[in-house]
Structure 1
């Protein structure tokens, strides 16, 4: 049975070997990425912004609701459907009125 030190040395040797292979493969991967970028007309700005061509820009979803309540520590809540934040549940459990926290 191998000792801890032997296994650790093997693991370090494998990590070194993996890093060497990563360095060797990196140039090829970069070349592939550049070729795909040229093929599809993708720019570095497209990558940074997450924009996708051919889909009409950003993917939608609902706009975020404006907050209606501010908690004792500055937390915000829109008062929408779904699970109430912990600070709201604590106030209600203590018999408090959430309307006291409404943003004017």
Structure 2
């Protein structure tokens, strides 16, 4: 029966062989995929990927509160800023 030291050495060797085989197979798969994309002139949209034109863009939130001393604003989303903590928010509300 093999010793613990021998088994761990074999395991490490197998891990290295697995990593090498994976890298080789991935490289072959990527090359095959690239060849098929070129052969059939496929686009990202045809492959099921969102186009860069259809990606939703986040719009900044509209400020609802303003610190009159610094001009700093807060949209009312997320954690309240320190300058507003414990105070009546209505006093800092932006009209409009």
Q: TM-score, normalised by structure 1?
A: 0.45
Q: More helix by proportion, 1 or 2?
A: 1
